[in-house]
Amino acid sequence: MDHTRDPCPWVALNDFGGAFCMGAIGGAVWHGVKGFRNSPYGERRIGALTAIKARAPVLGGNFGVWGGLFSTFDCAVKGLRKKEDPYNAIIAGFFTGGALAIRGGAKAARNSAIGCAVLLGVIEGVGIGFQRMMAGNTKLELPPPSAPPSESGKTGFPAVA
């Protein structure tokens, strides 16, 4: 188990807050540019600020719900499996995608669950690939083997004439 983080109930709240901030900041940038571009020439700054105030908190909330649910399911899967491996994130992604799409019906929940699990599988796979790639750079190389002692003096030092 990963003992560097807080216990699971606090991790879920922490991840909810982090995901909310990430979504709100990203939403402010995205909707600010979008509001600026779609406003009339003289009112672009006002249009950007209006779009940010109206839409960035919504996107932050959506990210926060996803992050909180994912973290909650991740903690639950870790507790059930008693293991710490990439499959936990894939399973938690499956449940998160399904839970968020359940209001759309069984077919939508199934498709969203599979899509979210595949996305998390790709993310975990890329993370493992980068870890292996970077671990190869830290291997120490042994020095080349030394030459056997010379036959002249059998001391290992070159003969002095």
Residue 159 has pLDDT above 80, yes or no: no
Q: How confident is the model at residue 61 (pLDDT cuts 50, 70, 90)?
A: very high
120 lies in some domain: yes
The domain containing residue 93 runs over which residues? 85-129
pLDDT for 148: 64
73 lies in some domain: no
pLDDT for 157: 61
Please answer whether residues 47 and 36 qualify as being in contact, where contact means their C-beta atoms are separated by less than 8 angstroms: yes
23 lies in some domain: yes
**Mean pLDDT, all residues of the chain:** 89
Mean pLDDT of 40-62: 96
Helix ranges restricted to H, 82-105: 86-101
Q: How confident is the model at residue 127 (pLDDT cuts 50, 70, 90)?
A: very high
What share of the chain in percent tops pLDDT 70? 86
Q: Do 40 and 101 belong to one domain?
A: no
The whole-model pTM stands at 0.76
More confident residue, 13 or 109: 109
Total number of domains in the chain: 2
Q: Do 61 and 89 belong to one domain?
A: no
Q: Do 7 and 52 belong to one domain?
A: yes
157 lies in some domain: no
Residue 16 has pLDDT above 70, yes or no: yes
Q: Do 30 and 60 belong to one domain?
A: yes
